[in-house]
Amino acid sequence: MASQSNKGSPFKTHLFVFLLPAVLIYSAFMIVPLIDTLRLSFYSIETDGTASFTGWSNYVTIFTDERWSADFVNALKNNFLFFLIHMLVQNPIGIFLAALLSLPRLKLKNTYRTLIFMPTMLSVVIIGFIWQLILSPIWGVGDTLVGFIGISDGLPPLLGEESTTLLTLSLISVWQFVGIPMMLIYAALLNVPDDLVDAAIVDGANQWTAFWRIKLPLILPTVAMVSVLTFVANFNAFDLIYAVKGALAGPNFSSDIMGTLFYRTFFGFQLQPGNPSMGATVASLMFLVILCGVMIYLYAIQRRLRRYQL
């Protein structure tokens, strides 16, 4: 796309004027902090503020110190569960809704799309409080609602018990963000040529088999993209757990994920003082986890799936 007239003069002031402000702000507030955080994970910061290089010792502490490793493994495990529930519930529902919306000659499809996407627009904090109120045994509106579908015992304290809190929070997050896979997959489905589906229908297939046999295989690259976006978002999540359960991610850390562990490590909680270098270490480990997810997507999935792309 380079235009011919720009070749020739070796130093182009306008190039720098256009490029520099964005590169500077982006570097100063995104890249430098990221790299410096990785660096800090190899330091130990004393109470007087001086940092000393300690090599891998922060990492050794996280993986071998009994208290640290228990917290870390718990948060990592919960975070994978959080991601798994999104993959098993949010993305299939999103694909299903997108498939319904992309049926030919469906009326009101724009209205459905707009309304179903609405919760996605709201802040996670607000969504967290909304569901906290609805599930609250004090209000009892949840009990009334499940009464309609024949459950007369009412709701157990879903956000109060160790066994159900993480699952409930995951489903709240699924409920809020189902609009994103729906939209992205819907857009991909629009791109599948009508001829292909029409030909199958003429041959006697119905919309259902046409979707499974023709459309879904063709949109697999988008499904992979949605999966990696879900992965990055889930391993970066924090707001929902913090809004509903606080930094302690209770009960008894059963809803603790990497984001809340990072916050507690960095800022401290109750009697435990904050620890910037351990915080940096947790952040670096989150970085590694996210990087692994992105790499798997870029190298393995993307390469294998590209063959099917039209």
Partner 1 sequence: MRTSRRFGPLAVHALLISYTIIALFPILLIIFNSFKSRKAIFKSPLSLPDANTFDLVGFEKVLGSSSFDVYFLNSISVTVMSLAFVLVLGAMAAWALAEYDFPGSDFVALFLAIGIMIPIRLGSVSLLKIIVSLGLINTLTALVLVYTAQGLPLAIFILREFIAQIPNDLKEAARCDGVSEYRIFWSIILPLIRPALATVAVFTMIPVWNDLWFPLILAPGEDTATVTLGIQQFIGQYVTDWNAVLASLTLAIVPILVLYLIFSRQLIRGLTAGAVK
* 242 part of the interface to partner 1, by CB under 8 A: yes
Binders of partner 1 in range 143-172 (CB under 8 A): 144
The single residue among 88, 141, 292, 300 that binds partner 1, judged by CB under 8 A, is 141
What length is written for the chain? 310
* 309 part of the interface to partner 1, by CB under 8 A: no
* 181 part of the interface to partner 1, by CB under 8 A: no
Q: Measured from the CB atom, is 31 or 88 closer to partner 1?
A: 31
- Residues in the interface with partner 1 (CB under 8 A) total 97
With CA atoms as reference, report the closest residue to 122 among 239, 231, 225, 249: 239
The single residue among 152, 203, 208, 273 that binds partner 1, judged by CB under 8 A, is 208
Per CB under 8 A, which region of 64-72, 76-84, 135-143, 159-167 contacts partner 1?
Answer: 135-143
With CA atoms as reference, report the closest residue to 173 among 247, 246, 91, 248: 91
* 307 part of the interface to partner 1, by CB under 8 A: no
Residue 216 beta carbon to partner 1: minimum distance, rounded to whole angstroms: 15
Binders of partner 1 in range 66-105 (CB under 8 A): 93, 97, 100-101, 103-105
The single residue among 191, 252, 272, 309 that binds partner 1, judged by CB under 8 A, is 191
Residue 3 beta carbon to partner 1: minimum distance, rounded to whole angstroms: 6
* 50 part of the interface to partner 1, by CB under 8 A: no
Binding mask 248-287 for partner 1 (x = CB under 8 A): -----------x--x---xx--------x--xx--xx-xx
Residue 108 beta carbon to partner 1: minimum distance, rounded to whole angstroms: 8
* 37 part of the interface to partner 1, by CB under 8 A: yes
* 43 part of the interface to partner 1, by CB under 8 A: no
| Ramachandran quadrant class, 270 (left: phi over 0; alpha: psi -120 to 50; beta: rest) | left
With CA atoms as reference, report the closest residue to 297 among 196, 229, 216, 214: 229
Binders of partner 1 in range 13-32 (CB under 8 A): 14-15, 17-19, 21-23, 25-26, 28-32
Q: Measured from the CB atom, is 66 or 259 closer to partner 1?
A: 259
